[in-house]
Amino acid sequence: MKIRWSIIGYVIKIHVVTLIAFSAVAMIFILLDYKKPTVDPTKFYLWFIAWIAVVIYIVKSKIDIEREEEYRKELEKED
């Protein structure tokens, strides 16, 4: 149980750091456009793509953790 929670905590930390990094990059792109009266829509598209990438990464990590747990259960059954 201790191993499982440490893995989950580690994955959550990675997700938070990745989310902050993507948000920071997107906000820098948006803030660089502060002199113009309107913001270029492509900067919002970059922000949207960054969030989609984060969601895909989170889903992929969850699937990997579930596969690892299933693999461990199969190994325990064989023993």
pLDDT at residue 49 in the model: 78
17-57, pLDDT tens digit by residue?
Answer: 777 777 777 777 777 766 665 666 676 677 777 777 877 88
DSSP for 7-50, please give it.
HHHHHHHHHHHHHHHHHHHHHHHHHTTTTSSS--HHHHHHHHHH
pLDDT computed for residue 13 by the predictor: 76
Residues 63-67 have a mean pLDDT of: 83
What pLDDT does residue 48 have? 73
Judge if pTM exceeds 0.75: no
